[in-house]
Structure 1
Amino acid sequence: MKTQKVWLITGASRGFGLEIARAALAAGDRVVGTVRSNPAQLTTALQNHPDLHVVQMDVTQEDQVQAAVRQGIARFERVDILVNNAGYGMVTAIEEATDAEVRKQYDTNVFGLLNVTRAVLPYLRQRKSGRVINISSLFGHDVVPGWGLYGSTKFAVEGISKGLAAELTPLGIHVTAVAPGLFTTDFLSTESYVAAKTIIADYQATVGPIRSGADALHGNQPGDPKKFAQVILQLANTERPPLHLLVGKDAIAMCQSNAAKLAQEIEAWLLVATSTDHDQRITASTIA
């Protein structure tokens, strides 16, 4: 008989979060779905499912996060799977973004993820089991113009996930950074991503096409979010989950291209890079 799991999913009101919540409930599990606003929207979308508990929470507000996690634990007694999904994109050349715009991006995508992880981990450590699934991005492995700052937050998620895995695996808790490619969520809708207010003409050739192309690409991405949710469901039930999981042909192609470029750079600069050791170290054996 299947053991009923309890999921805590951030950013569950739409996109990946909503589809993962729907798939988990359909599989017979329980879900604590967190939303930044309008909890009734998620309740209605998931047809007031009896195994769904919706909590209003802004991941950037640590007090709210702690309270929301306590509510989820009070409702279902435990958390087995944390899905850090909340986040948003920003299209901008790096120079164009203001300090405030960059900090807001990091507050949600990085520090918000850390707030939620810190709130949930004590419960996972107490049970010596559980899963942490961090939603990264193909831009967490390589970047394109205009998505560099957003990509840097996902590089951070990849690094945090790697560190967490080293620390948590001995405690029976598995961590996976999931890097999806482009899926037909509302990520590229004008209501979801942010464009920096400043536009510098010198970046028209590189960032300009990205700015104008985002709306055209919206709705035409290759990935099916329902199928993505099934991958996450399979991941959560795998005995030995991977640390990194790229999802989508575009994500795999981008990562492979980046790995090849890195290998070429290492080879091209190998003699220079390995020329920095001291010529000779004085040791007891050389003195004797």
Structure 2
Amino acid sequence: MTNTDGRVWLITGCSAGFGREIALAALAAGDRVLATARRPETLTDLEAKGGDRIRTAALDITDAGQVEAAVKTAVETFGRLDVVVNNAGHGAVGAVEEFTMSELRALMEVNFFGAVELTKAALPHLRAQADGTIVQISSAGGQVALPGFGAYSAAKFALEGLSEALAAEVAPFGVRVLIVEPGAFRTEFGGGRLQRSRTIDAYELSTSDTREAVETMHGTQPGDPAKAAAAILRAVGCPNRPLRLALGDDAVDAIRAHHESIATDLSNWEKVSRGTDLD
């Protein structure tokens, strides 16, 4: 298949949640999709729904060889690559001191370095065709770090910082970046893939509410992943898209309050801040 009708998407983490819904929304829009997951057998129902407009592939985003192979498969199968969605990853809860360094590094490998690896692999193709979009699935936690979410937010803060710079770097080539910041959606964030640190009794004071929330939220989150997917497709197709797209009332409220807090500190300490230059 080498025709170029419709956009071509490469989406990671399609076994459930946002990845699956974005794949379904892209197919419904008449686009073509390479849907990936660590276990591609979980994608058979997507293949049945997409017909010749979908292909599936195994992709562990911490495996550089599989990342390169996925990009090559998308280009060779569909003739081009238009939208790359870095969705694969998982949540984590625990105080900073409670996480071991090996756990922190493993979390960064999945939630940050894997997304960077795929982004770098796709960019030569997007630059060559002078068009394309990188969609980074971040989180409201990519701007607001709550107690108990320090490790998770660290990965998302890193992804957002890199992506903000990337957006300016690739804009001259016609390539765009969209950072998506969902709040609580009915995905598997609070389910079995959630990484939980060991516990230190002292931190029950500051993190118990967060731990309790993630253990009880599964299946009760207000956000609809299908509506999130529709919003993402709308933004991807809009010439005046934002750099950041918050999704959900909770995300909008939390991010706005955080920005107001930053603005207040900046204003209150402005005289001190501006008084540090050489005379």
TM over 0.5: yes
How far apart are the structure 2 equivalents of 1:276 and 1:5?
A: 51
SS in 2 for 1:176: strand
Amino acid at match of 1:178: V
In angstroms, what is the RMSD of aligned CA positions?
A: 1.3
Kindly state the Cα deviation for residue 267 of structure 1 after the two structures are TM-superposed: 1.7
1:123 pairs with one of 113, 122, 125: 125
How far apart are the structure 1 equivalents of 2:140 and 2:109?
A: 20
SS in 1 for 2:60: coil
CA contact (8 A) 2:178 2:236 kept: no
Kindly state the Cα deviation for residue 156 of structure 1 after the two structures are TM-superposed: 1.1
Distance 1:266 1:186, change over 3 A: same
- Equivalent residue number for residue 249 of structure 1: 249
CA contact (8 A) 2:126 2:175 kept: yes
- Equivalent residue number for residue 183 of structure 2: 181
- Equivalent residue number for residue 193 of structure 1: 194
Kindly state the Cα deviation for residue 3 of structure 1 after the two structures are TM-superposed: 4.6
Kindly state the Cα deviation for residue 46 of structure 1 after the two structures are TM-superposed: 4.8
Larger radius of gyration: 1
Amino acid at match of 2:177: V
TM-score, normalised by the number of residues in structure 1:
0.92
How far apart are the structure 1 equivalents of 2:232 and 2:209?
A: 32
Amino acid at match of 1:122: P
- Equivalent residue number for residue 44 of structure 2: 43
The structure whose residues are more often helix, as a share, is 2
How far apart are the structure 2 equivalents of 1:175 and 1:126?
A: 16
Query: Hey, which bits of structure 1, 4+ residues long, moved more than 6 A?
Result: none
Kindly state the Cα deviation for residue 45 of structure 1 after the two structures are TM-superposed: 4.3
Cα shift readout 1:142-193 (whole Å, capped 9, x = no counterpart): 111111110111111111111111011110011110101110111111x121
1:1-288 alignment runs, 5 A limit:
3-37=5-39, 39-47=40-48, 49-50=50-51, 51-189=53-191, 191-196=192-197, 198-279=198-279
Higher mean Cα deviation, 43-52 or 113-122? Answer: 43-52
CA contact (8 A) 1:22 1:46 kept: no
How far apart are the structure 1 equivalents of 2:10 and 2:44?
A: 15
Report how many residues are paired: 275
Amino acid at match of 1:246: A
CA contact (8 A) 1:174 1:241 kept: no
How far apart are the structure 2 equivalents of 1:45 and 1:33?
A: 8
SS in 1 for 2:184: coil
